[in-house]
Amino acid sequence: MCVLCGEFISQIHWTDRHVEDRVGENRGDYHRYRRCDRLHRVAVINKVLCFYGLKVQDWSGSKYVLRDNKGRSELVQDLGSLWPVVQKLAGRPLDPLDPILQAALDETSEEPVNGGRDG
């Protein structure tokens, strides 16, 4: 990560902190576990965002880029700040209990989130 990008990270979001618990003595695995976890979260989030015509990508392991089908994009610091930006780009409030969203997620629940690979 470049110095400029590193300066914008004020704190690590709680979703990235649990990796340290799994690494233990082998600190070399930290970046591998963290990257794998981030990519898994992106895959799960994209199943929801697809319903709204949006997609998120990991950006250099430090932030996320949220894009819509119209070519607009927003840089998001962490998953906690993702959802308000999703509402902004979607142009409507998000309802995780929306029956149509739930049905769409049920249809995709048959597909493996990580392409059938573990970890």
pLDDT-above-90 percentage for the chain: 44
Contact between 64 and 82 (Cβ < 8 Å): yes
Instruction: Region of 56 please: left (phi>0), alpha (psi -120 to 50) or beta.
Output: beta
Q: What 3-state DSSP class applies to 96?
A: coil
The structure's pTM equals 0.69
**What DSSP designation does 114 have?**
T
Whole-number pLDDT of residue 103: 92
Greater model confidence, 55 or 1: 55
Tens-place pLDDT, residues 24-59: 566 667 677 778 888 999 999 999 999 999 999 999
Dist. CA 83–CA 49, nearest whole Å: 10
Greater model confidence, 109 or 101: 101
